Every structure is written in structure tokens, then in C-alpha cells.
Structure 1
């Protein structure tokens, strides 16, 4: 059950604490005081789109009756928190940040919210398909069906877009590109090194010429120096030896440098760079882009290969998958029809309790294969004892539709906590007494929280809360016995109304 709802801030509610009890919890108040604001907050933990305001924060303490093993949530007390600031919403579970999907999945296992005018769902395509599948326990069959249906759609898409010959041509083109780039063995590091060497080669010719000229000049200097031996006294020969030795070393060094330069093959570097430039022009503009495209081509090649294999056997594969889908859709239909019969009996019984006698029948229409099977399901009825069964929108008033929707909801109760937001719209008199009795009975096995304007429902509450609004601030009061009696007087029109009725 929900033990505590704390609202730190929401619209005009500030620092509000509501301690709910087991059984039937009723919330009442004047129109415009903000009764439904409380349910907005509870709904914020579900897929609820009626949140008002860009800033709010709240916590809900829920006692979980049993382990939710699939979600790894243990039985016991847990805290759900929500905060919205700067148009961003954050969720926490037991004080830790949690994803919206996780919080909603856990909360949806515990709480169902039934909103005012929810009878509009009666007209939505697929509403009864979902209900019957849930009650029938068709989850595993639907999961298998939907997996096959996705595959079926893929086959149809492929058949409509291409032939095996088209895909084979694409594979050949991709293979050529992949082979061309892979043979080149490109590397960003190698390209940078080649560019560096190429810049050096642009000056190579001038360097070789300079080294050659210097080497020739050194040979001439060496000849001149050797002639000087005969021209100078012997006491100078040792100095000449040193000079000749240095000249010889320099000459040898220049010859070694020339030899190294001659070993560099500019044609190889230019040829390798041309490979990079060619592939960049075709698949670039940069080498990084070429390599990224190569990776993408390989992924695409694998996908196209799979498409090709499917297309080769597409017709037979489609027939095979379609046959299995038809089998599963027929199984779903049988289970839905069986469940519809049982559900109608329960719905009619609840309607009788709600002071309404209606003839109802589910109409099944077979359709083409869809994501949820091959059924359109509509609820037909008539509130008169005779006459044709027609779509509900043609034969029922707003109040009658509300009672039919409530009867359906009562027949498919699936969570331990049930929240009702003014489901009593269009209900009064003896029907209101019947509805109060029905909710009281339901609260024996579930925690029920109801926002209502009916004193008949408020009178049987296990806990009664009244919401007041004063000077623009909302306040929630837990009523004692005296407070309940005073609130019930207000709901039936006050002392003046009662005195007037008594006088008449």
C-alpha cells in the first residue's frame, strides 16, 4: 500500500504530507481546490501526461507486498522520488537515481490509476485487445508472435525494395571498394612520415649538387696542399699533415652523405603518396575518412549479405513465416474469445451491482496481420431490453459509459493499489450508493484511493482527507469523526439545504 505521499512543491501545494491507510481512502474538497493535484503526483511515477508546472518535487513511500523478482525489488518499504527543475525530470528509487523506465515499471506493478472520463478508452482501437490479452495471460504468445511479425515485416520490406540481383550488384561494388582500400594498407602514421620525407626530397637535388661541388673543391684543395710539401720547409709539414687529414675526413663524410642520399628513392615515396591521394579523392577527403568508410562498408556488406540470403529464399520464407503468424493469431483469437465470454459475465455482474442492466457483446472482426494479431475487437451493447446491439457511443450516455468502464476496471483489477479520479461523474442517487458499496467491497482486498464529490462514497471511507485552499495555498487535512460529519454536510449542500429539504 501507499503509506505516505509527501509533496514538497507542486502548483499551490507546499510541504504536504498525507498518511494513507489500508482499505478505502477518500479525498474530497470544493471544486477548484486541487483534489486531482494529489493524483497528478501519484501519476508522475507512471506514464501520466497531466503534470502541471515546470517545477515540482515529491516522495511516495510504498510497502511492496511481494518480491518483484524480475525487477530485483524486495518486499517491504520503498521510497519513490521525483523532482522536476529546468524542464528536466529526475527519479530516485530508495534514494538513488533511477531511470524513468525502471521507476514506471516498478510502480505500474503496484498502482493503477483510473482517471475521470477514462470511458473514452472504450472507443480506442486496440483497447479491448490489450485488456483481453492481459486477462488471458497472452504475454508469451504475443512475444513469439511479435518477434515473427518483425521478421515478416522485414521480409516484405526487402521484397518491396530490391531483388536478389540488385543486392548482389551492391555486394560486388562494396567488395571492390573494400578490396581496393584493404590492399592499400593505409595508415595515418605512415602518411605523415611519407609527407615529411617528401618535403625533404624537394630539396634533395640542391643538396646533392652542393655536396658534389663541395666534394670536388675538397679534392682540388687536397691536391694544392700536397704540392705545398715541396714548396715549404719540413718544419711546416706537420701542420700540413693535420690540414690534409681534416680535408680527407670532410671529403669522406661528404661522399658518405651523397651515398645515403642516392639510396633514397623519390619515385617510391611519390608512388606511395599518390596511392593515398587517389583514395582520399575517391573516398575521403581525409585518410581518416577513408578508413572510417572502410569500416562502414564492412558492416554494410555483412547486412547486405544477410539480405541477399533472405531474398534468395524470400518467397518461401514469407510463406513459412506467414503460416506461423496465422497459426499464432488464431490461437490468440481463441484465447481472447474465451476470455471475452468470462469477462462479460463479470462485467455484467458489476453493472447489476451499479444499478445498470445492459446487454453487452464483444464483436470480433478478422483483419490482416498486425503487430498484435489479426483482430479488431469492439464492445457492442444496448441499455434497452430489446433492439439491435450497437457500438456503445451510439446507445449509452456519459454516466452509463462511466459505469461500463468502471465495471470493466473492477473485473480486471490487477494491482494491489487502485486510484480513482472522480470516476463517479454522472452518477447519483441509488447508483451512488451501489458504487460506494462496490468500492468498499473492493477495498477489503486492495488499497483504494478515491477523489470524489459523492457523499455516499465519502461516508464509507476508512480514512477521509479534505483539501482546502486558502490565500492561494493548498492544504490537506485528515478528518476526524466530527470533521467527516461537517464535510459530509458540505457535500450535500450544507445546513441551509438540509433545513430546506426538511421544511418541504
Structure 2
């Protein structure tokens, strides 16, 4: 609701300050007095782009009461309740809400669902199919069904996003790759201590092999034939002891005995030495070399990459479980959405005929002989509002056409009035009409006044009119007065209202006498 609207330097208005009531607010005045300028200023203040200002010092402000805000506005710090909206206009428009600057789009969003402007040759909500659908839904008056669908649809969108995020391409293939990578760790359970031990064992084995090779070389040199030949030489030397150098036979005997002793010692050493098979150690070390090649180069890198692979596998397995659960819930919630959407569609089909009857009755009383209809088609996919494609049409030239293709500005304003009077639960909306009385008068004007009054019982209505039949129903009445070089707007007392109504009836300017 708009509680107060004030401004300075709005074209011909030096300043003004209007306090609107909850019901029917009427603005009257002579032709050309600038009544519509006030509504254009209000339109601009509430976030609409209009061609209006040529003064860099134009300033507008409104005190508004917001009954509901969406989550996006809440995130921007805008809550339900009273707010002061201001606009400094000129070459650059600067919007503020409660003193804080906001872009024009935020201000427009703040009022787009609750404040409805209806003027000649301007875009209005009623021309939007989405808005037409919302009106039919209000007429259906089944808030629980709509709430259930909205909740289910929201959950479906949330689950689709979860599934999309979790459904990594080739998820199972990646898990298999990780299993193969981790199989080395799980099979051999490598450790830094074991690698150190294996290297020490491998070094010992190599040294032992070197020793054995040396000993075997000695053994080969001291083979049995050599020892036998030395013994034979010693025996021969003893037989010819008188002919050979003194001591030679004994020396040869000592050599034979020592060679035999060395040979026996080396043979016993080889037999007693148990050489460890190096193949097992080499195979185990090759595992470590492979780990270093793939996950190294050093042991710290191996441990980090090992842990990283395990984390990735754990995350992917968790994601897979979540994906399976989310996918299962998604299939279930999609079915629920379709079931609820079908019910919504059936409700709309059933309500459309009755809604058409109400609108046609109001149009007839407003002297508009139009055949109004609601066309409902069925979509093949779910939308935030279900599966219904709703459009308001009127018959023209023997065929049904959308409202935008048939109605003039004044007719469209009366269509807006007829539609909203037909819809239940309209409390909280604000309707602003300019030239709704275009082309009508007499009894039809009186009917129009009665219907505006009826609408104002559940919604705030602000209307610019030249008809006394409408002005007489005002809860709050403003008049725009021409002065020498400017205009001003005045809130009327009951006595002043009488003078203004007389002026409107008789067409005479009685304000000179009143003032």
C-alpha cells in the first residue's frame, strides 16, 4: 500500500505531499491541469522508466507498506513492513530504499506483483499471460494445492541441480581407475620402513654374492687335481732327496697339506653359508620403484598422493551413493509434480467457465459488449506454475484474439477492473487507473464508480477521473489546481469536495470563490 507520496520540482509542480487512504483515492482537476503527471511521477518512483523529467532537481519520495517480499529481496536487506522509497531524477536516476542506494531493477521488483498501473497506451500486467494465469489461480481459491505444487516443484529443481552436480562424466570408470591405482597400496601395504629394510637386505645379498664368488674362485684355483699333483711332486722329491734342494720335499708336502686344508675350509664355508634368494627382494623393491615413478618421486609424495587417491575414491563413492538417492527421490518428486500439475490443470479448466461468466457480467455492466473467454492449453513440460498455458481472449471479427490486439487503453482499464472484481482474495494489491473513464459517461459512469468502490474494499485504488459519478465514491479526494506558472495538488475537505463535484457536473470553475 502507498501511504504517502511527496515530491519537489516535478515538471509544473513545485512541491506536493499526498496522504493516500486504504480505499478509493480520486484525483480530479481541469483538463490540462497535470493530473496524469502525478501518476507518471509515482510510476517512476516505483521503478518504471517513463519519459517525464527535464529538471535535474526533481525529487520524489513515498512511504509504502509491503506485505510480502521474495527471497531475493530479503537477501538484499528488504523485509516486509514500512519503507521509504526516494528518487532523485534528472540525467541520472538515483533510487534509495530507507536511505540506501539500490538499482532501478530492485525497486521495480519490489512492487511488480502488488502495484498495477493502468494507463492509455502503456504495457499493463493484464497483457502478460503469466499474470493472467495468476488471476485464474486466485479465482480457483485453492491455496493448499498451489502451495503443495510450488514446494514439490522447488524440490524437483533442487534435486535436478544436485543430480547434475554429482553426475560426473564417467563416474564408474574413474572409480575403477582409482581401484586399480590403490590396488598396489592395498596389496603390498608399502611403508617407508619396509623399503629401508628391503634395501639393506638387497645390499647384504649382493655383498654375500660377491664373497661367494671370491671363495668359489679360490676353490676353483685349488681344485683336487692341483692338490694331487703337489702331493705327487712331494713324494717324488723325497725319493730324490739327495738330488733336489734341501727342504724341497717338506715344503711341497706343506703346500699340499695347506692347499687341502684351504680347500676343505672353503668348501665347508660355502656349504654352511645360506644365501638368501634375491628375487623376492628385487620384486618387492620393483613395487616401490613403480610407486615412486607414478606417485613420487620421494616417499612423502607417495604418501600424499596415496591419501589423495583414497580421498577422491571416498568422495566419488559418497557422491555415487548421494546420486543414487537423489536420482531415486527425483523420480519420485517428478511423479508427484506431474500428479499435482494435472490436478491444477483440472482445477483451472473447471474454474474457467465460472470466471468467464463473472467477467462478462462486469463488462456488460460497464457498457462493454465483449465476449471474454479463457483459453487453456496443456504444456508437455513442467513449469513453475504447472502445465497450463492460459491466455485471456476476446472475440473480434468472428475470431478470438489476445487482449493486446483488440482493446484500447480505456477499454483495457475497464477490462482490468472487470477481471479483478471477479477474482477473490485480492486484499493487499494497489490499482492505479488513468483515463479508465475514457469514452463513457451517464449511468455507465455511475456503474464504473460503484465497481471501483467495490474493488477499493479489498485493495487500495488510486484513480484519475473527470467523471463526478466516480469522484463521488472517493474515500480521499485530491484536486489539481492551475496557478500562474505552476500547479498544486490539494486534499479536499468534505465541503471542498462538494464544490469540486459541482464543478465537475457543471463545468464551471468554482475554486476562485472557494479559495
Tell me whether the two structures share a fold, i.e. TM-score over 0.5: yes
1:129-278 equivalences in 2 (<5 Å): 129-135=133-139, 136=141, 137=143, 139-151=146-158, 153-154=160-161, 162-165=169-172
Partner of residue 386 from structure 2, selected from 373, 386, 394: 373
Root-mean-square deviation (CA), in Å?
5.2
SS at match of 1:365: strand
Q: Would you say how many aligned residue pairs link Structure 1 and Structure 2? A: 367
Question: Residue 408 of structure 1: CA displacement?
Answer: 0.8
Aligned residue number for residue 7 of structure 1:
7
Most deviating of 435-444 and 99-108: 99-108
Residue number in structure 2 paired with 1:435:
448
Question: 2:366 pairs with 345, 348, 354, which one?
Answer: 354
Choose the corresponding residue for 1:113, options 108, 113, 116: 116
Aligned with 1:162: secondary structure?
A: coil
| Paired residue secondary structure (1:355) | coil
Alpha-carbon distance in structure 1 between the residues aligned to 2:403 and 2:416 = 11
With over 3 angstroms needed to count, the CA separation of the structure-2 counterparts of 1:415 and 1:118, relative to structure 1, is farther
> Taking structure 1 as reference, are residues 144 and 131 closer, same or farther at Cα in structure 2, changes over 3 Å only?
same
Please say if residues 346 and 411 of structure 1, whose CA atoms lie closer than 8 Å, have aligned partners that are also in contact.
yes
- Do 1:455 and 1:488's aligned partners in 2 also have CA atoms closer than 8 Å? yes
Structure 2 residue corresponding to 1:410, chosen from 412, 418, 421: 421
Using a 3 Å threshold, how does the CA distance of structure 1 residues 429 and 146 change in structure 2: closer, same or farther?
same
Q: Following the alignment from structure 1 to structure 2, what is the Cα–Cα distance between the partners of residues 120 and 101?
A: 17
Larger radius of gyration: 2
The match for 2:477 among 461, 464, 474 is 464
Is this contact kept in 2: 1:152–1:322, CA < 8 A?
Answer: no
Gaps of 5+ in 2: 69-73, 183-296, 302-310, 511-515
Superposition deviation, residue 477 in structure 1: 2.6
The residue number in structure 1 matching 2:338 is 326
The SS at the match of 2:367 is: coil
- Superposed CA deviations along residues 36-82 of structure 1, whole A, max 9, x for unmatched, are 3433454567554448557654444568999xxx99868xxx56342
- Which stretch has the larger CA shift, 371-380 or 51-60? 51-60
3-state SS in 2 of match to 1:419: strand
The Cα shift of 1:166 comes to 6.9
- What whole-Å deviation, never above 9, does each CA across 1:188-241 have from its counterpart, x for those lacking one? xxxxxxxxxxxxxxxxxxxxxxxxxxxxxxxxxxxxxxxxxxxxxxxxxxxxxx
In structure 2, the partner of 1:363 is: 375
Deviation per CA, 1:121-173, whole angstroms, max 9, x where unpaired?
4443322222233443255124213313414643785699834347759999x
Q: Which residue of 1 aligns with 2:131?
A: 127
**TM-score w.r.t. length of structure 2:** 0.54
Gaps of 5+ in 1: 176-274, 280-297, 496-504
Deviation at 1:451, TM superposition (A): 1.5
Pick closer, same or farther for the CA change 1:335–1:101 going to 2, 3 Å: farther
Shift of residue 377 of structure 1?
Answer: 0.9
Query: Tell me, what secondary structure is at the counterpart of 2:388?
Result: strand
What CA distance in whole angstroms lies between the structure 2 residues aligned with 1:154 and 1:317? 13
Give the Å deviation of 1:348: 2.4
- Whether the 8 Å CA contact 2:95–2:101 is kept in 1: the answer is no
Question: 1:450 Cα deviation (Å)?
Answer: 0.8
The 3-state SS of whatever aligns with 2:450 is helix
Q: Distance in 1 between matches of 2:155 and 2:172?
A: 26
- CA deviation string 1:280-302 (max 9, x = no partner): xxxxxxxxxxxxxxxxxx99x96
Change (3 A) 1:168 1:41: farther
Distance 1:314 1:417 in 2: 40
Q: State TM-score, norm by structure 1.
A: 0.55
Distance 1:63 1:313 in 2: 44
* Alignment match, 1:288: none
Select 2:356's aligned residue among 344, 352, 355: 344
